[in-house]
Amino acid sequence: MGFSDDVDKKAAPLREAILQHPFVTGIGDGTLNVEKFKFYVRQDYVYLIEYSRVLALAAARARGLEAMSWFARLLDETLNTEMELHRGYCARFGVTREELNATTAAPTTQGYTQFLVATAHQREYPELVAALLPCQWGYWEIGDHLARRGLPEVAPLYREWIEVYASPEYKALGDWLRNHADQLAEMEGPPTTLRMQDAFLSSLRYEYLFWEMAYKGEGWPV
């Protein structure tokens, strides 16, 4: 059993909590209040800006040309495809690019992105790879789970969202990163593997908190 399968088992209750979160199930059955989705898209856009910085650091720190090339391609896809998808969503809501770019990070968004940036700067490369897994693999897991339950015909916007993350192309990205994490853990040994596990679980907890933040419309209290 590789690192990714092992940590998946350890994190099973948290992964299931994400799949059963009312924000996620609301996308799946089409009942999620559109204002909650609008809030999520704007916060996720802020997240993706910082995520792109982390991917750039991952490309710079990557071990070998294959990993460097993979992170560079993902950086390009994030900046020029996924973020454009978010701009398109916001355009439907009447949110301009200027308004989107001026979005203030909510506390959870700020905490999650600061954790990832700090990991990219200060921790070992295998820990960085592990910290990226919950987002990259987790979104496919959510998309696949919802697609298997049936696409919400009454909510075309949510259907589109599910189709993006349930796609074979998105799964391939997660598969590559899982395999890369497995290879790193095997080469590094138990001490590094334990730190990778901690990084993975920290990111996964933030993933749950991100859905919670979006559902509640989290803001700064003062």
The pLDDT tens digits for 164-205 are 999 999 999 999 999 999 999 999 989 999 999 999 999 999
Contact 157, 90 (CB under 8 A): no
Whether the predicted pLDDT of 1 surpasses 80: no
Residue of 50, 82, 135, 141 marked active site: 135
User: Would you state the pLDDT for residue 85?
Assistant: 85
Mean pLDDT of 77-92: 89
Sign of CA dihedral 201, 121, 137, 44: positive
| Options 1.10.40.50, 3.40.50.1820, 1.20.58.340, 1.20.910.10; CATH of 3-216 | 1.20.910.10
Listed residue (140, 137, 135) closest to 2, CA to CA: 137
User: Would you state the pLDDT for residue 89?
Assistant: 87
pLDDT classification of 23: cutoffs 50, 70, 90: very high
Q: Is 160 an annotated catalytic residue? A: no
Q: What is the pLDDT of residues 123-147, one digit of tens each?
A: 999 999 999 999 999 999 999 999 9
| Distance from C-alpha of 155 to C-alpha of 117, rounded to nearest angstrom | 35
pLDDT classification of 95: cutoffs 50, 70, 90: confident
pLDDT classification of 109: cutoffs 50, 70, 90: very high
User: Would you state the pLDDT for residue 128?
Assistant: 98
Percent of the residues in the chain that have a pLDDT greater than 90, as a whole number? 87
How many angstroms separate the Cα of 163 from the Cα of each of 28, 36, 38, 122, 141? Answer: 11, 19, 18, 36, 12
Contact 181, 196 (CB under 8 A): yes
Q: Is 135 an annotated catalytic residue? A: yes
Listed residue (42, 66, 67, 44) closest to 57, CA to CA: 67
User: Would you state the pLDDT for residue 199?
Assistant: 98
Residue of 50, 82, 127, 207 marked active site: 207
- The model's pTM: 0.95
Q: At what angle do helices 107-122 and 34-61 cross, to 10 degrees?
A: 10
| Distance from C-alpha of 132 to C-alpha of 190, rounded to nearest angstrom | 20
Q: What is the pLDDT of residues 36-74, one digit of tens each?
A: 999 999 999 999 999 999 999 999 999 899 999 999 999
User: Would you state the pLDDT for residue 114?
Assistant: 98
For the record, the structure tokens of 45 come out as 């856009």
Min mean pLDDT across 42-51, 61-70, 87-96, 109-118 is at 87-96
Mean pLDDT of 77-82: 90
Domain-wise residue ranges, the chain:
3-216
